[in-house]
């Protein structure tokens, strides 16, 4: 019986368990099984990585799908990758990203505890705002990510994120600080970190917006 238990084919064919048999593994070791959310997000990221649906794909170094906790109660949505993000393939890693990380920590979270993504997954030339065609083409990926993570609150960072996620043309200065809704999820529009770096006086109003989010999430 012991010989049968050690036989890899027995597990594959009889038990229906797929795993990689390592030379030093014991019978007590279990295969790593991904959750449904991980498998779904892997598929979305795979589709993003080969996407050529809009012209932004032609100028990218790397796609920037998004990253974070797939079970996060809090999600941040920005505009699109900048130069640093395009180089590293990760969202919000430049100066604006450093400020966002501080904002997240001030709210009582670690960066890896939230989920961060953008409206478009490839860098627009010269960091311009994405055109309507580009945003409308790419936003379905974001919507799939939101559905998978299913956060309690989404923070829209800046006018572009707010415009395309909420389908509104209202200026961020008029809509920020007031909860909106997307597919039953509370959405808080606030200023983009890059704007806050240029306008230090707006950090206080932005913090007031985030405090409202904290209150909803029980982070006082």
Q: Where are the domains of the chain?
A: 1-32, 34-216
Q: What is the value of pTM for the model shown?
A: 0.85
pLDDT, tens digit (0-9, with 9 covering 90-100), for 106-130? 999 999 999 999 999 999 999 999 9
pLDDT one digit per residue (tens) for the chain, 220 residues: 444 444 444 333 333 433 333 334 444 455 668 899 999 999 999 999 999 999 999 999 999 999 999 999 999 999 999 999 999 999 999 999 999 999 999 999 999 999 999 999 999 999 999 999 999 999 999 999 999 999 999 999 999 999 999 999 999 999 999 999 999 999 999 999 999 999 999 999 999 999 999 999 998 7
| 219 phi-psi bin (left φ>0, alpha ψ -120 to 50, beta other) | beta
Sign of CA dihedral 13, 17, 23, 27: negative
* Residues of the chain above pLDDT 70, percent: 85
Q: Selecting from 3.40.470.10, 3.30.420.40, 3.40.1620.10, 3.40.50.1370, what CATH number does the domain 34-216 have?
A: 3.40.470.10
Exposure b/e, 89-108, CB count within 10 A at least 16 = b? bbbbbbebbebbbebbeebe
Give the model's pLDDT for residue 30.
58
């Amino acid at each position: 019986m012991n010989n049968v238990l050690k036989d890899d084919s027995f597990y594959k064919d009889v038990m229906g368990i797929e795993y990689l048999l390592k030379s030093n593994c014991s019978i007590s070791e279990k295969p790593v099984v991904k959750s449904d959310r991980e498998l779904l997000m892997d598929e979305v990221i795979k589709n993003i990585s080969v996407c050529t649906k809009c012209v932004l794909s032609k100028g990218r170094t790397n796609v920037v799908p998004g990253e974070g906790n797939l079970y996060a109660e809090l999600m941040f949505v920005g505009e699109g990758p900048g130069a640093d993000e395009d180089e590293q393939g990760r969202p919000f890693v430049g100066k604006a990203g450093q400020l966002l990380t501080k904002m997240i920590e001030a709210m009582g979270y670690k960066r890896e505890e939230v989920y961060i993504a953008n409206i478009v997954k490839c860098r627009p030339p010269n960091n311009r705002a994405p055109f309507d065609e580009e945003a409308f083409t790419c936003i379905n990926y974001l919507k799939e990510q939101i559905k998978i993570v299913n956060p309690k609150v989404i923070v829209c960072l800046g006018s572009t994120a707010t415009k395309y996620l909420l389908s509104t043309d209202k200026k961020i200065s008029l809509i920020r600080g007031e909860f909106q809704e997307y597919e039953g999820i509370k959405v808080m529009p606030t200023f983009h970190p890059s704007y806050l770096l240029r306008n230090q006086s707006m950090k206080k109003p932005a913090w007031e917006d985030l405090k409202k989010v904290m209150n909803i999430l029980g982070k006082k």
